[in-house]
Amino acid sequence: MAGAHIAREAIDMGFESPVLVAPGRRDVSCLTEGPRQAEAVGAPLEAVRVRLLDLLGTLSRLLGEHATPLLEAARQQLEQRACRIAVIGQIKAGKSTFINALAERPGLLPTDINPWTVVVTALHLRNAATPPEHAAVFHLFSVDEWKELADGGGRLRELTERLVPGFQSDLLRAQLEVMRKRAEQRLGPRFAELLGRCHRFATVTPDILTDYVSAGDGTSRPCASGRRRHYSDITRSAELYFNESPFAFPITLIDTPGTNDPFLVRDEITRRSLENPDIYVFVVSALQPLSVGDIGMLRLLNGMHKDRIVVFINRIDQLPDPASDAAAVRATIEKRLRAEFPTLQIPVICGSARLANQRLDADKADGAMPHRARTTATHGMRLQALIERAPDDGAGDGRPRAGMPHASCGLREVSAAIGRLMCTSSIAMLLRQIAVCLAELVRTAEVSDRAELEAIDARLAARRLESTALRQRIEEEVASLAAFEEHASQLQASFRDVEAHFKALIASATELLHRQLGTLVREFAEREAGALRAALQERPRRPAWRCDVTPLRLELEAAYLAACEQTTSDLDRIEQFLYPQLKLIVKSLVPDYGGSLLEAPAWAEGLAPSVAALGDKVTMDLSTSWWSRWFAGRRAAEERARHLRYLIEEDFLKIAVELVGEAQAHMCERVEYVMRRVDAIGNGLSAGIERRRAGLTKEQALLDGAGEAHGLEAFEAEQEGRADACLRRQEAHAAALDELGGVLEALDTAQGERP
Amino acid sequence: MMRPVALVRADRTGCPFAAVAGDPPPRPGARPRAQRIVVIGEFNSGKTTLVNALLGTPVLPTSFTRHTAYPTVVGFAAKPWLRAELAGRRRVAVPWSCIDGAPAPHIRRLHVGMPLDRLKTLRATDTPGFGLGDEEDEARTLRACRGADTVIWCTPAMQAWKASELRTWLALPRAVRQRGVLAVTFMDLLPSKGDAGRLLARLAADAGPHFRRIVTFSSQGFLAAPAGELA
């Protein structure tokens, strides 16, 4: 035990010092099984990823230096981007247990009867031959972050004070005091020196994880009672790395502290630290499924990620009669989801993460069957057989027996749902973009090769004429190349103009949207304040009145979407004007350019900008009891009206700013994509020019250099060689294009498989 | 620090309510007044099961999917009856299917009369749960708390004491909260005894200050009976 801490202390000293292996601890990573078979989750995308990576190797040889930056960027994306799956839900819903089951690592993340996970923990799972450099990396809060948190400053205090006036800010202060004292008690009075550090471990054990990500008992171990120290109070994030994964595609599973935690500090940490996952798994307990808070959270997600949500109803094993109750609970939830989100199709899956873990443990204990075989044939069946299997049933053939109730742990279904969602997620979009971009690169290279081939033919024809004619021919070509180059640079310049135009358009649209939304909020606030004044005149003591901000939300959403649509259609117009122009220019340079790059891209439906900000919790959403408090608190009617206006503007102007930022980011992303495609053409053309210029210079040198006859022969041989190279390249290009076509087809198929 | 009391045991002694309320036993000779107990909490937190346990017999139907629709007051009667309270405190007899059927908006409350000896010393009120987003229901539940001698807040052991529960509880009038008891339900679903101890330690620290006492409750042995059998 002590060894690990000494090792870690050593790492503390020197930030980048080599990692020391903690001896004497149970190594969790060694408990895992070998790589999984082909139909694991994300297999279609993984196949595409591998094919694209292979192609990158071929293309970097084929396309030469000019393409290297683009290819490198693509490689980086392919190698590093994982599908991020966030597991969210209320406290004690069973999120950590669920992740342990999904990652097929029972007992990895620590779980407890009390809310236990306090740190956002990311499990990076990918199949790789070499083990990761670090198995676990823990980032502690920086000095500033800790100060802001411990002082209850910033957004946290603002939020709690405004949301629940009076008591809860006292509560928060008390909680923060407890937290500060506990940190001091656990880590010693000089714990502040630890802030801003990063602790790395070569292996990860349950003990280490408990020390960094678990709440620990209220009656904490003082640091004197052993060498172990509890860091979770000051840990900001935890990253765990594994080189063996039950998923085919690289996956990052994110465990989060539960929402609805009476320890307000944790709730706030969760809200703050969730960054852009591709898929959400929303875990609810079957015993209390889908409360108002859950619906609110789903509404928030709905704004961000239209249909990338899976609802997992956990703990069905604790229902009085799992077989029939689970179906009833599921039906109720599906009905409520349909009522709340009529346009969404959220898969709802019942199961028990606890049973799934027990089963995984049992399998590990069996150990006889290799994992590969088990997952192919019996994975689903053994899960399904779990509940009906009597405890004394030693046979364990895993097949459901006739007449027994049919139920399952649900993990297989969740995996399948995740696999389906992945195929339409931003990951699939990214792969598609990369494939399209590569195809454009290849096509441009092909165009310049074809031009070169023609030039060679012409020169060889001229060879039959006199050498002076040849010389003249080369000179002509140098001149035409110069003209070509000028055109190309004009083209590049006009690209830049277009980009500037795009940017200007976005800036003015953003400005307009900002003004529009601000006006909406202010007008609404003014209107409501007026209504309040009127209500107070009517019944000064207890007005039967409360402010409903739903209309404002709807107005904002409508204005926002309309503005986005307007700008999008403006961009469309420019693009429709831009592409024919581009086509004209490129055609004048290379008459038979065949790339589809010059067609305006079709924008996918799912790319509408997010309205997530509108889901933000605001003061006005509070219950009747909040309003009665609010009325009790303030005296004069005018003051109340003013305060109401202040609250509305405070809450919604912030939301408006977020919406504007979102719209801007959304449009910039689109413009960047267009510019990337256009740059791919430009790069390809200039590379072709470079190559031809180099060729011409060489020819001229050959002609100038040696004796006339010898020079001509050498020249001819050189030309033949280059023509051959061109032809070989063309073959390779065709093969690469075929492969890319295949990749795009595979992506289409994967996407089409969705129900 | 307050010590949790196990309700199930209290049930066997025949007098669970003194244990719940923490009141001194009634003076000998004094005529016992029916104690009014109101059970509240979030949905599916085991309120109805607890009411049945208090009565010693499954009077009210329990379910994970059909939620209690109205505040339901169970009191003593020579023979079983069921009445619905409408606007203006008017009461009308209704069929037993009403207790378990689809909610009707004109019914304010249900009143159940039962010939149970326990009901001579106790009147128990079951309520619709919080957290389903029905403000009308929640307002009704809050009204039902007025005039209670003891208000029991149910929190399920597996997902105990969430921020939303704290918020709802603190929104109740102080006078109601001063008569509050926190019942930790579904204790039988906890995996181990050690877990129970650790859970109760947290609750004592986090929720303890807001209640007169904390009790634990295990639902085993109290099952729902179809409403028809009662009639």
pLDDT at B2 over 50: no
Higher-confidence position of A359 and B3: A359
Is any Cβ of chain A less than 8 angstroms from the Cβ of B74? no
pLDDT at B155 over 70: yes
Helix residue spans in A220-352 (DSSP H) = 264-273, 292-304, 322-340
| B23: closest CA of chain A, how far (Å) | 29
Express each pLDDT in B184-197 by its tens digit.
998 888 888 788 88
| A625: closest CA of chain B, how far (Å) | 6
Residues from chain A that touch B131, judged by Cβ atoms under 8 A, are: 288, 291-293
Is any Cβ of chain A less than 8 angstroms from the Cβ of B231? no
Which of B135, B165, B147, B145 has the alpha carbon at shortest distance from B44? B165
CB B54 within 8 A of CB B97: no
Instruction: Read off the tokens for B100.
Output: 């378990």
Sign (positive or negative) of CA dihedral B29, B30, B33, B38: negative
Is any Cβ of chain A less than 8 angstroms from the Cβ of B104? no
Distance CA A274, CA A325 (A): 33
Please list, in sequence order, all residues whose beta carbon lies within 8 angstroms of the beta carbon of residue A62, skipping any fewer than 6 positions away: A442, A445, A729, A732, A733, A736
- Per-residue model confidence (pLDDT) at position A137: 94
For chain A (755 residues), the mean pLDDT of every run of 10, in chain order, is 40 34 33 43 91 91 79 88 90 93 92 85 90 90 78 55 51 77 82 86 88 72 54 88 92 87 67 69 90 77 69 89 85 88 86 90 69 37 39 36 48 91 86 85 82 82 71 80 79 80 87 90 89 79 69 84 82 75 68 57 54 63 61 70 83 84 82 76 75 78 65 77 88 90 89 60
Is any Cβ of chain A less than 8 angstroms from the Cβ of B220? no
- Per-residue model confidence (pLDDT) at position A240: 94
Distance CA B176, CA A625 (A): 14
Instruction: Read off the tokens for A319.
Output: 């229902």
What ipTM was assigned to the predicted interfaces of this complex? 0.83
- Per-residue model confidence (pLDDT) at position A486: 81
- Per-residue model confidence (pLDDT) at position A671: 81
Nearest-by-Cβ selection for A287 from B132, B135, B158: B158
Instruction: Read off the tokens for A368.
Output: 């006889």
Interchain proximity A113–B198, CB inside 8 Å = yes
Is any Cβ of chain A less than 8 angstroms from the Cβ of B200? no
Q: Which of these ranges, A284-293, A715-724, B10-19, B203-212, has the smallest mean pLDDT?
A: B10-19
Distance CA A727, CA A450 (A): 9
Strands (E), A341-445: 348-350
pLDDT at B153 over 90: yes
Using alpha carbons, list the distances in angstroms from residue A638 to A166, A529, A646, B89. Answer: 22, 9, 12, 39
- Per-residue model confidence (pLDDT) at position B99: 81
Is any Cβ of chain A less than 8 angstroms from the Cβ of B184? no
A-B contacts (CB, under 8 Å): 95
- Per-residue model confidence (pLDDT) at position A375: 38
CB B22 within 8 A of CB B2: no
Distance CA A443, CA A73 (A): 19
- Per-residue model confidence (pLDDT) at position B154: 94
Percent of chain B with pLDDT over 90: 27
- Per-residue model confidence (pLDDT) at position A415: 92
- Per-residue model confidence (pLDDT) at position A83: 92
Interchain proximity A217–B201, CB inside 8 Å = yes
- Per-residue model confidence (pLDDT) at position A308: 83
Q: Which residues of A touch B (CB under 8 A)?
A: 90-93, 112-114, 164, 167, 217-219, 260-264, 267, 285-289, 291-293, 295, 315, 318-320, 325, 328-329, 331-332, 623-626
Is any Cβ of chain A less than 8 angstroms from the Cβ of B49? no
Quick one: closest CA in A to B219, which residue?
A: A320
Is any Cβ of chain A less than 8 angstroms from the Cβ of B135? yes
- Per-residue model confidence (pLDDT) at position A31: 29
Quick one: closest CA in A to B166, which residue?
A: A262
Helix residue spans in A464-596 (DSSP H) = 467-538, 550-589
Nearest-by-Cβ selection for B163 from A112, A262, A329: A262
Residues from chain A that touch B159, judged by Cβ atoms under 8 A, are: 90-93, 285, 287-288
- Per-residue model confidence (pLDDT) at position A678: 75
pTM of the predicted model as reported, rounded to 2 decimal places: 0.76
